[in-house]
Every structure is written in C-alpha cells, then in structure tokens.
Chains A and B, each alone.
Chain A
Amino acid sequence: AQSVTQPDIHITVSEGASLELRCNYSYGATPYLFWYVQSPGQGLQLLLKYFSGDTLVQGIKGFEAEFKRSQSSFNLRKPSVHWSDAAEYFCAVDNDYKLSFGAGTTVTVRA
C-alpha cells in the first residue's frame, strides 16, 4: 500500500513570508496525491490534487504543489502567507480508492 510522510510536525512562519510544507510518498506507478487543510474543529477542504500531467499544480487560496517523481515528493508552497492560513495541513495518497493521510503539519502564523 502506498503511504505518505510529512516530516514537519509544526511550522511557524511570519505573515507575508513564504511557506513550504513537505510531503514524501512511497513508490507507486501513478500516485494520486492530495493536499487538504483543516481548521480547528472542522472537516477537510481540498487545496489541490495531482493525478497526471503538469507536475506543478495550482490550487485554491494561492497554494501550489510540485510533483517530483525523482524525489518522491509532493511539496506544498505558498509565496506569501496570511494569518488565515494558520491551520492543519494533510498530504494524502489514493490507496485503492481509499485515502491514506500523513500525520499532518500544523502551521502557525505570527504577526
């Protein structure tokens, strides 16, 4: 079964600074990869997804992610974070139609 690893448990970033969240996946011929965001006490919202094609994926809220097969990575980036970006972020991989989630990265935004 495929799996994902999020190496960073917690990241603190200043408002206006850039943000990068790391995600590594286990080998799979054609991984379907996702990034979700979760605000406290809420469900998950899809930021972006990669199925095939262009390896740079644009998502909502100004986020993008780049699929790099050579590094087995699908890192999430945002050029300039806003205070509202403080949340929990989950990387996920499709596992035979079921999603397997990474441990999550908590993002704190300081003024």
Chain B
Amino acid sequence: GAVVSQHPSWVICKSGTSVKIECRSLDFQATTMFWYRQFPKQSLMLMATSNEGSKATYEQGVEKDKFLINHASLTLSTLTVTSAHPEDSSFYICSARTTEQGNTEAFFGQGTRLTVV
C-alpha cells in the first residue's frame, strides 16, 4: 500500500513554544490530508481536513489559530501547534487518501507523540 510518513515520531517542548509536525505522502499525491488527535485509550478525533492549495477545514471545537495547518504541495501537509500548553500533549496522527477506480482508501502516518512540559 501507499506510504505516509510523519515526522517527528515524538517531541518534547516547553510550554509557550510552537511545534511543527510534518506529514508526507511518499509514493502518491494526496490532494486531501487529515489530522487526528488521540488521547490515551481513546479513539481518533478528527481535527481538520487539509486540502492542497486552500485553507483547511476545521472540525467544531478545534481552534484554527491554535492548530495551524498548511498543505502547500500534493505530498506535504504540516500541523503547527502554536503556543503549546500541557493540555495540548497528545498523540497526533495524519492520514492521506488516494483514489482508486472511484473508491477511496486512507493511509496513516505513524503518529507523533507531543509532550508539553
């Protein structure tokens, strides 16, 4: 299957700083990428949909000024957590979808563990 690479795998940052997470589709072009957040022992919650060349669409309750998403190319989307606080500590996962003969399939990155101290 297609490969989605997420970097970094884990990051520790100080409260008040910003952190950027990259999501790359390595062997296919992804016009749409998705960013999820996962708390321990819980399911994935969709944060936003990232479309190449346009503004991201955020889910209800997600602060767009807090979680900046940029999708500048067909293979790269970035999530920047601005002015991070301990409550932003979480597991962030991206996914990208490719179209195959009219059907769609999502491929996931390996996730980024963010710890804000």
**CA gap between A99 and B34 in the complex, in Å:** 9
Chain A positions within 8 Å of B111 at CB level: 41-43
Contact, CB under 8 Å: B104 / A42: no
Contacts from B to A (Cβ < 8 Å)? 1, 4, 6, 32, 34, 41-44, 46, 49, 91, 93, 95, 97, 103-111, 113
Given the interface pairs A101-B43, A102-B43, A103-B42, the reply to whether A43 lies near B108 with Cβ below 8 Å is yes
Chain A residues contacting B113 (CB-CB under 8 Å) are 41
Which interface class (under 10, 10 to 19, 20 to 34, 35 or more) fits A? 20 to 34
State A45–B93 Cα separation when bound (angstroms): 12
Number of A-B contacts (CB under 8 A): 50
Stretch from A19-27, A61-69, A72-80, A90-98 at the B interface: A90-98
Q: In the bound complex, what is the Cα–Cα distance between A42 and B4 (angstroms)?
A: 13
CB atoms of A94 and B104 under 8 A apart: yes
In the bound complex, CA of A90 to CA of B104 (Å)? 18
CB of A32 within 8 A of CB of B104, answer: yes
Residues of chain A touching chain B, judged by Cβ–Cβ distance below 8 Å, are 32, 34, 36, 41-46, 49, 51, 90, 94, 97-104, 106
**Would you give the shortest CB distance from B48 to chain A, in whole angstroms?**
10
- Contact (Cβ within 8 A) A46 B43: no
- Report A-chain residues with C-beta under 8 Å of the C-beta of B44: 44, 90, 101
- B103's partner among A42, A51, A98, A101 (CB-CB below 8 A) is A51
Contact partner, A43, options B34, B41, B93, B103, Cβ 8 Å: B93
CB nearest to B102 among chain A residues: A51
Chain A residues near B1 (CB-CB < 8 A): 46
- Cβ B106 vs Cβ A99 within 8 A: yes
Are B104 and A44 closer than 8 Å at their CB atoms? no
- Shortest beta-carbon distance from B44 to chain A in Å: 5
Measured CA separation A45–B84 after assembly (Å): 29
Minimal beta-carbon separation of B84 from chain A (angstroms): 20
Contact between chains at B43 and A99 (CB < 8 Å): no
